[in-house]
Amino acid sequence: MNPNPIEELRKFVSNDDFTKLARIDNRKLYSFVLEFINLCNPETVSVYDDSKEDIERTRRAAIENHEEAKLAIEGHTIHYDGFHDQARDKKNTKFLVPPGTDLGPELNSIDREQGLAEIREIMSNIMRGHHLHIKFFSLGPANSPFSIPALQLTDSAYVAHSDNLLYRQGYQEFLKKGSEARFFKFIHSQGELKDAVLGLKVSKNIDKRRIFIDLEEETVYSANTQYGGNTIGLKKLAMRLAINRASNEKWLTEHMLVMGVHGPDNRMTYFTGAFPSMCGKTSTAMIEGESIVGDDIAYLKNIDGKTRAVNVESGVFGIIDGINPDEDPIQWETITTPGDVIFTNQLVTEDGKVYWNGKPGKVPENGVNHSGEWYPGKKDADGNEITPSHKNARFTFKIDTLDNVSKEVHSPEGVPVSGVIYGGRDSDTSVPLKVAFDWAHGIIMYGACLESETTAATLGKEGVRVFTPMSNLDFLSLPIGKYIQNNLDFGKHSTQPPDIFAVNYFLRDKNGKWLNLKNDKKVWLKWMELRVNSEVDGIKTPTGLIPKYQDLKRLFFELFKKEYSMEDYIIQFTIRVPENLAKLERMEKIFKERVTDVPDTVFRHIAEQKARLEEAREKSGDYIPPVKF
């Protein structure tokens, strides 16, 4: 008879920690923990519950283990990833798939048995001399039809500390569900460490960095990396697991913010929104005067015919670039006052203050950052200038610390969704704001056909226009065609599917000048709120409905006391026919050559939009001002 794994675990943990494990009636959990303690061979092991004492213990460990260092402001710490470990590693992030499984050419995969053998070899004794943290979380609010329990094993106190800020504690969920818990599993090791600045340690063996995702066992393996996108398993790695589960259960896991926009007479209207990294997602979710529910990942379900959504997380892992008190007052308040905040890959001056790119005031003359000792004009080995703060530098904090957090942020029932927003970096094609003709048109033309110019959030070149359906290509765990069909089907099961909008904060004129200010998005949000409540009309164009000038003029004045000119309206909302047709050609080529099992309706919608654009061009030319419609 096989020994009871819980009894085997007794020799690795203290009596108190053994009791914490034994209270959870789940043999599968015991077996998983025992397997990876034996494989990874940590020196010591701790088990954490939901107590404040255990949460604080994790935070202290991050400092004591030299993964974070204290900053001048109380509660603030700095963490550095290695110089070449500061973005998601797409190349080495792979799905483990059994023979005969095809996820399509866009998804990186490896034979499951081969991948398991490789990752087990890499993880063998990888935690020697390290401390293993065993932690329990809930993806989505606790006691909710949305919630998924999650088990995290990591030898990084920084990752454990980040998880505590980003996710709801889940030990009680495991106790309640016991042997019935269908939980996600995460095993991470930062691997062998080397010295970095401020006495901190970073992952050494980046050549052996691996992030493997096993959909069959709903398990994520991560090794030889510290960067949050590769290691904070409950974030985008768990998202891949959830997309697969959602596909099987007919709901959606999306790369979306969730927010409430305030309307007339104290009305609150909720939106979700999908934007690639560094495309305005967090700044939209946190916009002053509105209410944030979440800034990154959402679960959406049709409940009693109505679309509802929750924030999977309970914290913010945001890019910090140009944040200032005038344009970002809510974020500024949180990251400049005492509290539990982790800064990652910024410049730190001698007095313990942190500087990020674009922070108000003079750029420091020196300090330390991810490259070591820093000074203005410092260059890397390829001759590229090293900025004070890395372009993908981050901050991490609890969402409840924000002044504009919604009272529904932890609601087990979620919030009713009236609108879905898609946005990306588009310098020359789409107008700043439009609304789809119907659910299918929006899902296909705004979601499935989403392109965005690349940023520093992923390894590789910046400024390249890439295909990123629903802003989710990097995180899909099923073929793109099936994912699109799932989204189309989801709308069919709602008695009143949300309206679908597209926004573009990055449109430029022919001289490269931005056509909108950073906070113009406030106006777009207010117009969308009025639109879903049937209080404003739109002008029909070949690509969707756009706002009327008088409505935007009124909103600009109400919000900013600004006179919004007809000239600005015309240049912003002119339909650029050649660029739109070129995009449709790119999309048609992609769907024919790179995507399998594309729903026929995708090609039909592309053809119909082409026809509308061609007809408009025959009547009004290549560049059609809104007053022509």
Mean predicted confidence (pLDDT) in 339-360? 96
In DSSP terms, 355 is beta-bridged to: 347
Same-domain check for residues 108 and 199: yes
Examine the pLDDT at 1 and tell me if it is beyond 50. no
Residue 371 within a domain:
no
In a domain, 101, yes or no: yes
Q: For all residues of the chain together, what is the average pLDDT?
A: 94
Torsions phi, psi of 91, nearest 5? Answer: -60, -40
Question: How far lies 282's CA from each of 315, 419, 423, in Å?
Answer: 12, 17, 12
In a domain, 378, yes or no: no
Q: For residue 289, give its domain range.
A: 252-316+407-628
Q: Is 243 domain-assigned? A: yes
Separation CA 95–CA 211 (nearest Å)? 9
Q: pLDDT: is 458 or 229 the higher one?
A: 229
Whether 206 and 310 share a structural domain: no
Strand partners, 453: 465
Instruction: Looking at the structure, tell me whether residues 279 and 230 fall in a common domain.
Output: no
In this structure, the answer to whether residues 516 and 488 fall within a common structural domain is: yes
The pLDDT tens digits of the residues spanning 275-333 come to 987 788 888 998 989 999 999 999 999 999 899 999 999 999 988 989 999 888 999 99
pLDDT band at 338 (very low <50, low <70, confident <90, very high): very high
Asked if residue 167 and residue 40 are part of one domain, the reply reads yes
Spatial contact of 290 and 404, defined as CB atoms under 8 Å apart: yes
Rounded to whole angstroms, the Cα distance separating 526 from 552 reads 9
**Cα(62)–Cα(45) distance, rounded to whole angstroms?**
15
Return the DSSP state at 497: P
Q: How far is CA 113 from the centre of its chain?
A: 30
pLDDT in tens, 171-222: 999 999 999 999 999 999 999 999 999 999 999 999 999 999 999 999 999 9
- Does residue 469 share a domain with residue 425? yes
Q: Is 391 domain-assigned?
A: no
Q: Does residue 574 fall inside a structural domain?
A: yes
Residues 591 and 476 in one domain: yes
At 171 the three-state DSSP class reads helix
Q: What is the CA radius of gyration of the chain?
A: 24
CATH of the domain at 606: 3.90.228.20
pLDDT (tens digit, 9 = 90+) per residue, 156-170? 999 999 999 999 999
Q: Are 58 and 131 part of one and the same domain?
A: yes
Last residue of a domain, one of 223, 249, 275: 249
Domains of the chain: total: 2
Report the alpha-carbon distance of residue 409 to residue 431 in Å, rounded.
Answer: 32
> Do 488 and 542 belong together in one domain?
yes
The answer to whether residue 325 sits within a structural domain is no
340 vs 384: which has the higher pLDDT: 340
Q: Do 230 and 169 fall within a single domain?
A: yes
Q: What are the counts of helices (DSSP H) followed by strands (DSSP E) for the chain? A: 18, 35
Q: How far apart are CA 585 and CA 596, in angstroms?
A: 18
| Cα(233)–Cα(602) distance, integer angstroms | 33
58 and 23 both lie in a single domain? yes
Measured CA to CA, the distance from residue 396 to residue 457 in angstroms comes to 16
By annotation, the residues acting in catalysis are 279
Q: Output DSSP code: residue 25.
A: -
DSSP string, 339-391: S-EEEES-EE-TTS-EE-TT-SSPPPS-EEETTEEE-TT-B-TTS-B--SS-T
Among 48, 282, 242, 230, CA closest to 139: 242
Please enumerate in sequence order all residues whose Cβ is within 8 A of that of 383, keeping only pairs 6 or more positions apart, or say none: none
Q: How many CB atoms lie within 10 A of CB 559?
A: 15
Residue 352 lies in a domain: no
Distance CA 525, CA 271 (A): 9
Domain endpoint, select from 216, 249, 282: 249
pLDDT digits (tens, 9 = 90+) for 524-563: 999 999 999 999 999 999 999 999 999 999 999 999 999 9
Handedness of CA 125, 127, 130, 131 (dihedral sign): negative
Return the structure tokens found at 565.
């000119």
Q: What is the pTM of this model?
A: 0.93
Domain shared by 202 and 296, yes or no: no
Q: What is the mean pLDDT of residues 22-27?
A: 95
- pLDDT reported for residue 456: 54
Among 249, 278, 301, where does a domain finish?
249
What is the CATH number for 176? 3.40.449.10
Residues 6+ apart with CB under 8 A from 517: none
